[in-house]
Each structure stands twice: as C-alpha cells, then as structure tokens.
C-alpha cells in the first residue's frame, strides 16, 4: 500500500493535464476517450511479469482516480493537487508487509489472462483492468521495479538481521540466566567455604587451648615428679644420716660402757653410784627449788657434752660427756 501511494504521488507530479494544461491533450486525465490505449496497456500488462499485490493496491486507488476525472469536467474544480504524506513504515511493519506479500503471492494462483477474461464479463472489472494498464504503462517503470526489488532485498536483509539479533538476544538471555545460576552457586560455595573456615578456625583455637592445657599439666606432672625425686633423695639422705647417728650412738654406748668399767673406781670417791631401788628415790615433792635448779643445770650440761662429743668424736669430749652423765646420775639417785 505504501508503494502504491508513493507511485500515485509521482503520477500527480508528472501529470501535465492535472496542473497547467500544457501536457498531452489525449492523456488519461484530460477526459478524452482512451479505451483503445487502455485495452492495449491491459494486454501488455497481462503478458508481462506484473506484481499481483501491486495490481490489487492500484485497483483500490481506481475509484479515487475516477472521482478526480469526473471532477475535472466541473467548472468549480480548481485543479489543485494535494501532497499526501505517508509516514515511513517501521521495521516491524516492513517485515510484516513482506511476509503478507509472500503469502498473497502463494495464495493467488489465477493467471492475469483469466483475470482479464473475467473482467470482460464484468464491466467494473474491465474498468479496473484499464486503470491498472494506465498505471503499469506510465507509473510503474523499470527503475521503480529495480527500486522495489532493492527495497525488498533490504527488507529481507533487515528481517534476517532482526532474526539474527533475536537469536542473539535469546542466546544472551540464556547465557545471562546461566551466569546468574553460576553466580548463585558461587555465592553458595563461598558461604559454605566461609562456614568451613570458621569451623576450622574454631577447631584450631580449641586445639591450641587443649595443647596449652596439656603443656600445663605436663609441666605440673614434671614438677611433681621432680619434687618426688627430691623428696626421695632427702629421705635417702635422712636415712643415711639416721643410720650414721645410730651407728655413732652404738659406738658411744660401747665406749661409755667401757669407760664405766674402767673408771668405776676412780669416780667412786666423788659420787655414790651404788644401785638403788625406786623406793629409795626421794620424792620429787620433797626436793626444794635449789635442788631442782641444780638437776636442770646437770641435764643441760650433759646434753651439751653429748653434742660436743658427737661433733668432735675424740676421747676428751667423750670423757667429758661421760663425766656429765655420771654427775647427772649421781644427782638423781642420791640418797636423801
């Protein structure tokens, strides 16, 4: 429809009879009879390769052309032509138009000659065929066909590019969905990794705490073992000292016994060492304070003498200890 209207505008521009009247007086807009030329043009159009869709569009314009011819005979007709503005179709309309053209070409199987014969039987159809002959002989030239073919090729290219872009967009949508799924899975993996890292760090902290506690317990155990070892050494040392003291005491006792046997006559002059029974011992209550003081001094002197004898281990100190012992015994067992 767009191509037909464009050709109609071209026809208005090129028609001389419609403007200033300098054109051919026998033109199709002059009002003269042109039936012979219309018949010849219709025959030529039927024999040529005519676009059926364009033919149909031109047939639809015939009533408008007829009304213009009828109005030319009227004195009130001003012979003014008006430019028809048609909006440039968009890509979607062009692609839809091409698809409709292909569908119509496939659906229309009646030849042009049969259409003309059918027009001979019907007067109105004959008029349409004559109008088509006019437009095909004057308006629809080889340049227009080439331009139409070029436009069709461009439309097909644009349609193919649109299809390719649609495929690219669908592929991009699929890739976008896949990338979104991959990003979601990656975020999930990152979350799981962070949770595992936190768990590993917590386990490492617990392990470090356990190691510290184990080291503390091991240090305490080593300290206890060292203290036990030290105590055992001290016990062994004390046992050795005790054995040594017991040996020294035994030696002193033997020495004291020997000294007592040898010096019993020498010390008999100063002390009375005759045995006495417990009945002969004076009562402690009968002793006065002076005697108790002397006994205490004798005891302290004996202890000091024994300590000196243990330290020096010579005969003089042992003899002094023996004398202190005899003095203490004599003081205790003295008769009242």
Tens digit of each residue's pLDDT (9 = 90 or more) over 66-84: 777 776 555 454 555 554 5
- For the chain, the average pLDDT equals 69
Enumerate long-range contacts of 46-54, CB under 8 Å, 24 or more apart.
46/112, 46/113, 46/115, 46/116, 48/136, 50/112, 50/132, 50/136, 51/148, 52/104, 52/105, 52/108, 53/101, 53/104, 53/105, 54/3, 54/4, 54/140
> Residues 113-172: pLDDT tens digits?
444 444 444 444 454 444 444 444 445 578 788 888 888 888 998 999 999 999 999 999
pLDDT in the model for residue 188: 94
> For residue 2, what are its two tokens?
């767009």
- List average pLDDT for each run of 10 residues in the chain, which is 336 residues long: 46 42 42 42 49 77 75 52 54 62 52 47 48 47 82 89 91 93 94 94 94 93 92 87 78 71 50 44 55 81 83 80 81 59
Under a CB-based contact definition with an 8 Å cutoff, are residues 71 and 82 in contact? no
**In the chain, % of residues over pLDDT 70:** 53
Q: Give the separation between CA 245 and CA 74, rounded to whole angstroms.
A: 168
């Amino acid at each position: 429809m767009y191509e037909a209207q464009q050709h109609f505008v071209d026809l208005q521009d090129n028609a001389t009879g419609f403007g200033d009247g300098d054109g051919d007086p026998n033109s199709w807009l002059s009002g003269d009879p042109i039936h012979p030329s219309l018949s010849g043009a219709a025959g030529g159009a039927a024999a040529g390769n005519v676009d059926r869709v364009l033919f149909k569009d031109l047939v639809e314009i015939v009533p408008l052309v007829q009304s213009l011819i009828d109005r030319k005979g009227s004195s009130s007709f001003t012979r003014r032509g008006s430019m028809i503005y048609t909006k440039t179709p968009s890509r979607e309309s062009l692609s839809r138009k091409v698809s409709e053209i292909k569908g119509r070409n496939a659906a229309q199987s009646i030849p042009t000659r049969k259409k003309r014969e059918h027009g001979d039987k019907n007067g109105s159809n004959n008029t349409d065929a004559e109008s088509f002959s006019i437009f095909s002989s004057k308006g629809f030239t080889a340049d227009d066909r080439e331009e139409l073919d070029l436009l069709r090729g461009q439309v097909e290219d644009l349609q193919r590019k649109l299809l390719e872009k649609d495929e690219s967009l669908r592929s991009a949508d699929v890739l976008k969905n896949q990338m979104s799924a991959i990003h979601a899975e990656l975020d999930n993996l990152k979350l799981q990794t962070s949770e595992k890292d936190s768990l590993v760090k917590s386990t490492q902290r617990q392990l470090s705490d356990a190691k510290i506690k184990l080291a503390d317990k091991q240090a305490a155990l080593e300290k206890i073992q060292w203290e036990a070892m030290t105590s055992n050494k001290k016990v062994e040392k004390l046992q050795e000292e005790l054995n040594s003291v017991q040996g020294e005491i035994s030696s002193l006792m033997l020495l004291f016994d020997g000294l007592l046997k040898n010096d019993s006559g020498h010390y008999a002059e100063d002390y009375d060492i005759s045995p006495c029974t417990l009945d002969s011992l004076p009562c402690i209550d009968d002793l006065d304070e002076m005697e108790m003081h002397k006994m205490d001094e004798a005891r302290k002197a004996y202890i000091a003498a024994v300590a000196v004898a243990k330290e020096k281990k010579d005969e003089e100190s042992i003899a002094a200890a023996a004398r202190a012992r005899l003095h203490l015994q004599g003081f205790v067992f003295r008769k009242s």
